[in-house]
């Protein structure tokens, strides 16, 4: 009551707080709903019936557990390495980049800021795990939201490592390499521009993403003299804090992705992938489930190249780096829930529509 009288907390704000669910609660709901969905699939595919009927033995369950553990460790180790790279980028931005610098560098118009965000992956080569902390720090420093959103979605593809791996995997196929780059920039730009038209775009950010420099001074802020040792310690402190904060989402996402890969038969998905529309849906679903790092996903997509047409392959290569299980969980550390829903919905629809158009017009 005293806070209300002092103007610190309004009654309306206190009411909204009491009605809202915490991030932990939403995470628990996500886990429960995901588990129920997997259980329903097991019933639908007859796996539960086989288990109760003795067709699946304890040895089969042990082999399945070993597969689950192997896939989980593979996804987690791969993702953790790039998450570490991302938090290092984030810490460097925090320590060395000031709000004044961003104001000078970033274009004032929304289109220029969006295009700059799409191209920043060439300077900060991070995958989908590393792009989230880096984008969050940029927006917390005062970078426009469209720049942060464009970087978040485009950086996992628009970086030298991923471009080179896609070129090598598909032998320089211009439809695949150029299509992946072009569609990624197009979709990321459209979504970023949609966010830019929000009257208060920064209100879409989660509270954690707004806590930029209040607790720490910038090492290179005007009038602040620090040694390189102090800057190094600051980078290490920021990196460790953010790594453990965001690592919990990577662990949960890697586990759910590994669980889905273990219990969902991929043959079932491949059987319905024979036409221009269902093939796109299948490859987008595979990208979501597999949650493979963008630096190596081109080699996985190559294994489907003889079965699926160009649009479906591009759907896998464009949608996967933007939206997978662990990435969606990481988005929740940066944006409010309704913003995450909007971002995922737009990315899904745009990826699907463009891939289907390519299937129908290119083949």
Q: What is the pLDDT of residues 49-87, one digit of tens each?
A: 776 776 667 777 777 788 888 888 877 887 677 777 767
Most confident range, picked from 7-16, 147-156, 318-327: 147-156
Instruction: Please state which of the ranges 20-24, 201-205, 210-214, 245-249 shows the lowest mean pLDDT.
Output: 210-214
270 pLDDT band, cuts 50/70/90, is low
pLDDT at 313: 92
Q: Where are the alpha helices (DSSP H) in 97-217?
A: 99-105, 110-119, 128-140, 145-154, 160-169, 174-196, 207-210
pLDDT at site 14: 41
Average pLDDT over every residue of 164-186: 91
The pLDDT confidence band at residue 7, using thresholds 50, 70 and 90, is very low
Tens of pLDDT, residues 130-162: 788 888 888 887 888 999 999 999 998 998 888
User: Between 352 and 241, whose confidence is greater?
Assistant: 352
Model pTM score: 0.71
Centre a 10 Å sphere on the Cβ of residue 65 and count the other Cβ atoms it contains. Answer: 11
Stretch 258-277: mean pLDDT:
71
The torsion of the CA quartet 48, 53, 59, 65, rounded to 10 degrees, works out to: 10
Report the pLDDT value the prediction gives residue 17, as an integer from 0 to 100. 42
Question: 3-class DSSP state for residue 363?
Answer: coil
274 pLDDT band (50/70/90 cuts)? low
CA R_g for the chain: 22
Reading the block at residue 353, the tokens are: 């529509």
Mean pLDDT of 260-264: 70
Lowest-confidence pick of 165-174, 178-187, 239-248: 239-248
- pLDDT at residue 9 is higher than 70: no
| CA distance linking residue 13 with residue 207, whole number of Å | 14
Residue-wise pLDDT tens digits, 85-113: 767 877 787 777 776 777 678 887 889 99
Tally of CB atoms within 10 A around 191: 25
Q: Is residue 1 helix, strand or coil?
A: coil
Sign of CA dihedral 124, 126, 132, 137: negative
Above 70 in pLDDT, residue 198?
Answer: yes
Return d(Cα 65, Cα 71) in angstroms, integer.
10
pLDDT over 70, % of the chain = 74
Residue from 108, 99, 98, 179 nearest 358 by CA? 179
Confidence of residue 354 (pLDDT cuts 50, 70, 90): very high
pLDDT the model gives residue 340 = 92
pLDDT tens sequence across 155-170: 989 988 889 888 988 8
Q: What is the pLDDT of residue 99?
A: 64
Q: What is the pLDDT of residues 201-217, one digit of tens each?
A: 888 888 766 664 444 44
């Amino acid at each position: 009551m005293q806070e209300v009288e002092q103007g610190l907390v309004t009654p309306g704000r206190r009411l909204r707080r009491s009605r809202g669910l915490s991030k932990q609660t939403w995470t628990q709901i996500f886990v429960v709903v995901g588990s129920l969905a997997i259980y329903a699939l097991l019933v639908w595919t007859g796996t539960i019936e086989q288990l109760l009927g003795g067709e699946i033995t304890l040895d089969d369950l042990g082999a399945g557990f070993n597969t689950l553990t192997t896939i989980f460790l593979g996804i987690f180790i791969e993702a953790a390495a790039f998450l570490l790279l991302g938090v290092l980028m984030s810490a460097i931005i925090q320590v060395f980049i000031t709000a004044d610098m961003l104001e000078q560098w970033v274009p004032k118009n929304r289109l220029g800021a969006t295009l700059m965000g799409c191209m920043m992956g060439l300077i900060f080569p991070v995958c989908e795990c590393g792009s989230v902390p880096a984008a969050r720090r940029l927006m917390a420093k005062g970078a426009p939201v469209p720049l942060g959103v464009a970087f978040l979605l485009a950086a996992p593809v628009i970086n030298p490592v991923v471009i080179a791996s896609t070129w090598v995997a598909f032998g320089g196929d211009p439809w695949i390499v150029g299509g992946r780059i072009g569609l990624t920039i197009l979709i990321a730009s459209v979504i970023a521009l949609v966010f830019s038209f929000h009257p208060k775009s920064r209100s879409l950010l989660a509270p954690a993403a707004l806590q930029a420099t209040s607790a720490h001074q910038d090492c290179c802020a005007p009038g602040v003299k620090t040694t390189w040792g102090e800057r190094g310690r600051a980078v290490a402190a920021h990196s460790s804090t953010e790594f453990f904060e965001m690592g919990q989402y990577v662990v949960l996402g890697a586990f759910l992705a590994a669980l889905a890969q273990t219990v969902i038969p991929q043959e079932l998905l491949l059987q319905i992938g024979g036409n221009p529309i269902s093939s796109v849906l299948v490859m987008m679903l595979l990208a979501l489930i597999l949650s493979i790092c963008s630096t190596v996903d081109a080699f996985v997509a190559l294994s489907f190249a003889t079965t699926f047409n160009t649009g479906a392959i591009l759907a896998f290569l464009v949608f996967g780096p933007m939206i997978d299980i662990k990435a969606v969980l990481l988005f929740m550390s940066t944006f409010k829930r309704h913003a995450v829903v909007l971002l995922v919905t737009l990315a899904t629809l745009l990826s699907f529509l463009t891939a289907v158009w390519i299937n129908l017009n290119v083949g």
